[in-house]
Structure 1
Amino acid sequence: MTDKIRVVLSSDHSALDLRAAIKAHITERGYEAVDIGPTTTESTHYPYHGQAAAERVASGDCQIGIIICGTGQGIMMAANKVKGIRCGVCHDTFSARMIRQHNDANMLSLGTRVIGEGLALDIVDAYLSAEFEGGRHATRVDMIEA
């Protein structure tokens, strides 16, 4: 058994390079990366990849998920269809912190055609370093789950 936080990573075909960069980045920081995304640039369907990653988080196999498509929107919508998933698209560090602190988001979605690698890694760091604040936010998260 490992003490490392398991982070599932997936994307569609548009984000192979960014997903690889994020995988290397989080591994360097002590996370266990579970990469289930495609390995070629052959066109693939983001809903499949969003759902597959979300199921890993919902089952408890991974504690956190990071998913990527062109805008981050479509793959996020697919992930949020899985019961127990709270995923948000973030293209700035403030939003990444807030979805963890206030929404207890267990998945982060990024748009590879919207942000560059440097900003994406900063967003990932902001997301991973933030913690859920609970309190009044827990009541709201409970409302979302209901």
Structure 2
Amino acid sequence: MRIAVAADSLDGVAARIVGELSERGHEVVTHGALNEAERDDWAWACEAAARDVAEGRAEQAVVCCWTGTGASIAANKVRGVRAALCADGYTADGARRWNDANVLALSLRVVSEPLLKEILDAWFAGTASTDPADVANVEHLET
């Protein structure tokens, strides 16, 4: 799978995310502080990764900033993106299942390497619910 990754700094697990995704067999496209040719501010970097998803250049994205909040806000401004700020595997699984999230937002401050693996395991194992109520909620976001 092709995954866009954005971070506004190289703090915490920023670089480790790229390595972890590559080790899992994904093709990674980098933005922000992970790409020397780009602006590293969270709003620009995370929007760029989200646009990759919305415009079909990537199937999913992982966006990061110090708290993860700005990263999720920037990604969610892009039509067709459903970014979820996840701090554990349970939340990541729920975001994929109930919200059909296509962008994972992470905090560079609180996510450790073991927690990163837990979150990514749950994220990639999760699939969108086919329950009519869940589908209706996701479809409502597109209107």
TM-score scaled by length of structure 2? 0.90
> Identical aligned pairs, as a percentage?
33
Structure 2: distance between partners of 1:126 and 1:71: 20
Equivalent in 2, 6, 9 of residue 2 of structure 2: 6
- Structure 1 gap ranges (5+): none
Q: State the one-letter code of the partner of 1:110.
A: L
Give the stretch that moved more between structures: 107-116 or 17-26.
17-26
Give 1:65-144 correspondences, 5 Å limit: 65-136=61-132, 137-144=134-141
Contact kept? 2:32, 2:42, Cα under 8 Å: no
Shift of 1:19: 2.4
Q: State the one-letter code of the partner of 1:131.
A: T
Secondary structure class of the residue paired with 1:67: strand
Contact kept? 2:21, 2:28, Cα under 8 Å: yes
Change (3 A) 1:35 1:73: same
Secondary structure class of the residue paired with 1:68: strand
Structure 2: distance between partners of 1:121 and 1:145: 31
Change (3 A) 1:76 1:57: same
Structure 1 residue runs of 4+, over 2 Å off? none
State the Cα RMSD in Å. 1.6
Contact kept? 2:10, 2:33, Cα under 8 Å: no
Secondary structure class of the residue paired with 2:81: coil
Contact kept? 1:47, 1:74, Cα under 8 Å: yes
Is 1:19 matched up with 2:39? Answer: no
Secondary structure class of the residue paired with 1:102: helix
Count, aligned residues: 139
TM-score scaled by length of structure 1? 0.88
